[in-house]
Amino acid sequence: MPDFNELDLRPELLRNLDSLGYNAMTEIQAASLPRILAGRDLIAQARTGSGKTAAFGLGVLQKLRVERFCVQTLILCPTRELADQVAGELRKLARAVHNVKILTLCGGMPIGPQIGSLEHGAHIVVGTPGRISDHLRKGTLKLDRVSTLVLDEADRMLDMGFQEQLDAIVAEVPQDRQTLLFSATYPEAIEAIAGRIMRQPERVEIEASHSQGSIDQAFFPVKDDDQRLEGLRLLLMKHRPDSAIVFCNTKRETDAVADALRSYGFTALALHGDLEQKARDLMLIRFANRSATVLVATDVAARGLDIDNLDAVFNYHVARDLDVHIHRVGRTGRAGNRGRAFTFFSEKERHKVEALAERTGQTIRESSLPAGNQRHQTSYKPPMVTLQIDGGKKQKVRPGDILGALTGESGVPGKSVGKINVMDNSACVAVERSHSKQALEKLSSGKMKGRSFRARRI
């Protein structure tokens, strides 16, 4: 892949990329960045984790004029998690560009502080269609000087029913703009919206396949849902992944499968669109820090999750859309790691498996479920435990304070402390299970910032 230095980027952006260790471009960056920098409208089809955020992020930062203190770029995302992830990556890319203000506007958060932040101005706004629409109705967000509009994970925004809101938002943005549309799949609905809002867009497609060496795939024929569930339990017991996603096609099935796994003793979480934002945030923290083994989710709920080193993916059913199925499988086996993907299918779903084989060009071999020697094993526990502290950013608590409180005199070993997440009024820290009791005692009896905070295991 070509080097970033081959692009006509600002010197400060190139220096920052070098400091971040970003040297060779990914496929999507090499294919799309020259077009973006040339000011073209672009439709880019690429999977999550392909480096697309840096592709449009560098394009946005290259043309940004910091001295013009107005919203110059609007980036729309389907979920708050993806919006937070995109904003975080942009801030990283913009470290060497002084005084850039990037604002995140998402639902599930109080609107008052967002209005206050908008009054102070912003250069780049990253948000979800629902909350952006709220601000437009209130007159607290002006888009009349936007020169770049980015639709990230556009297919999921349409799946989630944001078509009407997208049209209303686009109507508020000047027609003389650059529009960048990124999507993992390219259904007819995307083609239709592109035809309405884009000007002679160029199209880039990065094949959503994965090297056969990085992902071990297996397909299991099942007679009914009882055998499907039993197969899931047996495979979890045999392979014992520290982190696995089970993809279901409906919310109801997501809850049912998670309930069944919990009854078997697994630490399983159900993720779907009906969850309140706080519960969703806490659930994703627990899964990302490896204190919950299995996340059972719908495709819409799981899009935009940034989970490192996912050990395994289970397709409880073959996805309705083959592109979505390929996208699911591609969540494991990333960044040089090995992964596993298991798919259950009934006789009624056999035609989908055959279509998948034709689409990917791979030979699909049917496998047998593990023998019953796993049936009498006890379920295993995740390697980490999450502790929650009743203090966060508003109480001036920082990750270093939490680490210091845990590893101070007679504390837990530093290597036993995992991810630390600090929110507005609380914080979570992952600790190795063997040290969790000692860690909870240290946090409960010690002090941070000269005061005591309550702590609990969740």
Written as one string, the DSSP assignment of 233-267 is: HHHHHHH--SSEEEEESSHHHHHHHHHHHHHTT--
Q: Could you give the angle at which helices 277-288 and 80-93 cross, rounded to 10 degrees?
A: 60
Minimum mean pLDDT range among 97-101, 240-244, 359-363: 359-363
Q: Looking at the domain assignment, is residue 379 inside a domain?
A: no
Q: Does the structure show a pLDDT above 90 at 2?
A: no
Mean pLDDT of 389-413: 90
Instruction: Decide if 439 contacts 412 (C-beta within 8 A).
Output: yes
SS3 state of residue 149: strand
Q: Does the structure show a pLDDT above 90 at 80?
A: no
Structure tokens given for 325? 């199925």
Type of residue at 140: T
**Same domain for 388 and 368:** no
Mean pLDDT of 130-155: 94
- Residue 318, phi then psi, degrees to nearest 5: -65, 135
pLDDT recorded at residue 432 = 95
Q: pLDDT tens for residues 406-438?
A: 988 888 999 999 999 998 899 999 999 999 999
Give the burial class of 455: count Cβ atoms within 10 A of its Cβ; 0-12 exposed, 13-18 middle, 19 or more buried.
buried
Q: Does the structure show a pLDDT above 80 at 372?
A: no
SS3 state of residue 375: coil
Minimum mean pLDDT range among 160-164, 204-208, 292-296, 410-414: 204-208
**Percent of the chain predicted with pLDDT > 90:** 59
**Same domain for 304 and 389:** no
**Same domain for 89 and 174:** yes
- Residue 433, phi then psi, degrees to nearest 5: -55, -40
pLDDT recorded at residue 209 = 47
pLDDT recorded at residue 336 = 61
- Residue 364, phi then psi, degrees to nearest 5: -100, 115
Q: Does the structure show a pLDDT above 70 at 117?
A: yes
Last residue of a domain, one of 345, 374, 403: 374
Q: Looking at the domain assignment, is residue 322 inside a domain?
A: yes
**Same domain for 396 and 338:** no
Q: Does the structure show a pLDDT above 60 at 257?
A: yes
Query: How confident is residue 64, by pLDDT bands cut at 50, 70 and 90?
Result: very high
**Same domain for 399 and 343:** no
Last residue of a domain, one of 355, 374, 393: 374
**How far apart, in Å, are the Cα atoms of 408 and each of 154, 396, 411?**
47, 19, 5
Query: How confident is residue 157, by pLDDT bands cut at 50, 70 and 90?
Result: confident
**Same domain for 393 and 363:** no
Q: Which domain holds residue 271?
A: 215-374
**Same domain for 181 and 35:** yes
SS3 state of residue 28: helix
Q: Give the residue from 144, 115, 116 showing the smallest Cα distance to 131.
A: 115
Q: Give the residue from 190, 177, 176, 65 showing the smallest Cα distance to 123.
A: 65
pLDDT recorded at residue 270 = 94
**Same domain for 439 and 390:** yes
pLDDT recorded at residue 223 = 94
Q: What is the pTM of this model?
A: 0.70
Q: Which residue is listed with tokens 């001036």?
A: 396
CA distance 62 to 274: 39
- How many structural domains is the chain composed of? 3
**Same domain for 337 and 427:** no
Neighbours of 278 (CB within 10 A): 11
Q: Which long-range contacts (CB under 8 A, 24 or more apart) does 432-435 make?
A: 432/383, 432/384, 432/385, 433/381, 433/382, 433/383, 433/384, 433/385
**Same domain for 220 and 351:** yes
SS3 state of residue 124: strand
Q: pLDDT tens for residues 85-106?
A: 899 999 999 998 889 999 999 9
Look over the chain and give the mean of its residue pLDDT values, rounded to a whole number. Answer: 88
Q: Which residue is listed with tokens 């435990």?
A: 385
Q: pLDDT tens for residues 332-345?
A: 876 667 889 999 99
Structure tokens given for 306? 């940034």
**Same domain for 327 and 275:** yes
Q: Looking at the domain assignment, is residue 210 inside a domain?
A: no
**Same domain for 391 and 299:** no
